[in-house]
Amino acid sequence: MKHARIQHRGQVLDVTVNDDGNILMADGTPLDAGQVTWLPPATGTMFALGLNYADHAAELSFKSAPKEPLVFVKAPNAYTGHDGYSWRPDNVDYMHYECELVAVIGKTARNVSRADALEYVAGYTLCNDYAIRDYLENYYRPNLRVKNRDSTTPVGPWIIDRSQVPEPNNLTLRTYINGELKQEGTTADMIFDVPFLIEYLSGFMTLQPGDMIATGTPKGMADVQPGDVVDVEIEGIGRLRNTMLSESEFFKNAKEQSS
């Protein structure tokens, strides 16, 4: 089953999406996809991984793979839904996408072992963990100005039940800009997998239902520009679309929506 959150006629609804792609309300009534705004399917804390694919770490000129996960934290201001908009600041040289498998926590997890960890996963979604390399500083790197910008982490479209993803460690990830394939990799190359990360994080803190673990991205970075349509896709999970706006377009739209 695929579970999504949408906005329809001003209301936030929990819906399901069937195998034909139809959006169904709780009572089974179908909704016209054209009338729906997709919201992030979970709103807890996102724990995101840096350098969690050996090929990507090499691409960023790290000599050896990390021995301990590099985890950073995102807050809900950063999330935006499927078919939404992100923005590229003016005067930056390099903003890139990152296609990532996201595990969504289903029940409170504290001191959970690797062997039991998947029982605490409700399902999977995907995210596009955009980054702006111009803003990297060597303090709490990757810093919030790179990774926690308004609407710059698309998440969704839905959460697919864990039972429907029997092999999360063998999924192909792809990113397209304007339909052109730019990034391709497999979750088989992940350094720290989902059970390891749940054991690691829950070993020092409590994970809550709705928290998310974004598991990092393989190699294949490319710059994105205003007007680009960026799709991140994971086999068996879904395809998440985002359109890049310029800074002035994004804030003009935000102002019109709030007035």
61 Rama class: left (phi>0) / alpha (psi -120 to 50) / beta: left
Residue 208 interacting with other proteins (CB under 8 A): yes
Choose among 182, 17, 166: nearest CA to 97: 182
Among 40, 41, 123, 142, binds other proteins (CB under 8 A): 142
Which residues lie below 8 Å from residue 54, measured CB to CB, with a gap of 6+? 65, 189, 191
Residue number with CB closer to other proteins (94 or 251): 251
Residue 253 interacting with other proteins (CB under 8 A): no
Structure tokens at 215: 């598991």
Choose among 53, 65, 66: nearest CA to 98: 53
Residues 25 to 54: which contact other proteins by CB under 8 A? 44-45, 47
Q: Which residues pair with 74 in a beta bridge?
A: 46
| Strand, helix or coil for residue 254 | helix
Residues 91 to 120: which contact other proteins by CB under 8 A? 107-112, 116, 120
Residue 139 interacting with other proteins (CB under 8 A): yes
Q: Minimal distance in Å, beta carbon 142 to other proteins?
A: 8
Residue 249 interacting with other proteins (CB under 8 A): no
Asked if 32 contacts 39 with a C-beta cutoff of 8 angstroms, the reply is no
Residue 125 interacting with other proteins (CB under 8 A): no
Residue 226 interacting with other proteins (CB under 8 A): no
The number of residues making up the chain comes to 259
Stretch that binds other proteins, among 157-165, 183-191, 201-209, 214-222 (CB under 8 A): 201-209
Residues of this chain that bind other proteins (CB under 8 A): 44-45, 47, 70-78, 89, 107-112, 116, 120, 135, 137-145, 148-150, 204-208, 251, 254, 258
